[in-house]
Structure 1
Amino acid sequence: MKSMPVMVDICLVPLGVGVSLGEYVAACQTVFQQAGLNYQLHAYGTNVEGEWDAVMAAVKRCHEVVHEMGAPRITTSMRLGTRTDRHQSMQDKLDSVTQRLVVDD
């Protein structure tokens, strides 16, 4: 099977655990790190990039870990992007916008 790189924007929200979610977010960051994935935390989620199967396995593992931490329910929103015409990293996408901002100043 041909490899399929994917970029995912994921927002995992445990339910029934109160309003402070930092420990759960940190646990998922650890999952992404242990999986060897490139990830970038932002204010309302995390961007993750890697091979499709590895990213999806890490998402599943995040659910497992957060349930193990006591969350009875989890809701997760994801946006996924793939492309086959060329390799593009999260940093490439950020750099493209930054370069345009410099030119427009």
Structure 2
Amino acid sequence: MRVIVDFCIIPLGTGDDLSLSPYIAECQRILADANLDYSLHAYGTNIEGEWEAVMAAVKQCHMRVHEMGAPRISSTLKIGTRIDRGQSMRDKISSVEKLLRE
């Protein structure tokens, strides 16, 4: 089953809580290596792909951020699935942009 998720990972207790960028960058590398479609935004990342591949990448992000020294992680994950027809992240954005042009 295809899925679109909104994923936000926040390492806690790192002693470097002012900049999360190194942790986020590492998760972006994991998503790229997994060959998933993803789009970074200001408060998280949209990820698109098969359920198992997306969830495996989310797990890898958690594991890697722990390896980087974060004793705790707080994440939010919003999950959307659709079985009546295919829909991509780009489709969803294009639909709104079309309405804005009208």
Place the TM-score, normalised by the shorter chain, in its bin: over 0.9
Residue number in structure 1 paired with 2:87:
88
Shift of 1:45: 0.2
Other structure's SS at 1:26 match:
helix
Equivalent residue in structure 2 for 1:12, among 2, 9, 21: 9
Task: Provide TM-score, normalisation by structure 2.
Answer: 0.97
Q: Work out the CA distance in 1 between the residues paired with 2:33 and 2:65.
A: 15
User: RMSD of the TM alignment (CA)?
Assistant: 0.5
Residue number in structure 2 paired with 1:67:
66
Q: Work out the CA distance in 2 between the residues paired with 1:60 and 1:78.
A: 12
Runs of 4+ in structure 1 over 3 Å off: none
Identity of aligned residues (%): 59
**Deviations 1:17-69 (Å, cap 9, x if unpaired)?**
22210000000000100000000000000000000000000000000110111
Structure 1: 5+ residue runs without aligned partners? Answer: none
Structure 2: 5+ residue runs without aligned partners? Answer: none
**Deviations 1:53-99 (Å, cap 9, x if unpaired)?**
00000000000110111001001001000000111000000000000
State the number of aligned residues: 100
Q: Work out the CA distance in 2 between the residues paired with 1:64 and 1:77.
A: 16
Task: Provide TM-score, normalisation by structure 1.
Answer: 0.94
Q: Work out the CA distance in 2 between the residues paired with 1:12 and 1:36.
A: 19
Other structure's SS at 2:11 match:
strand
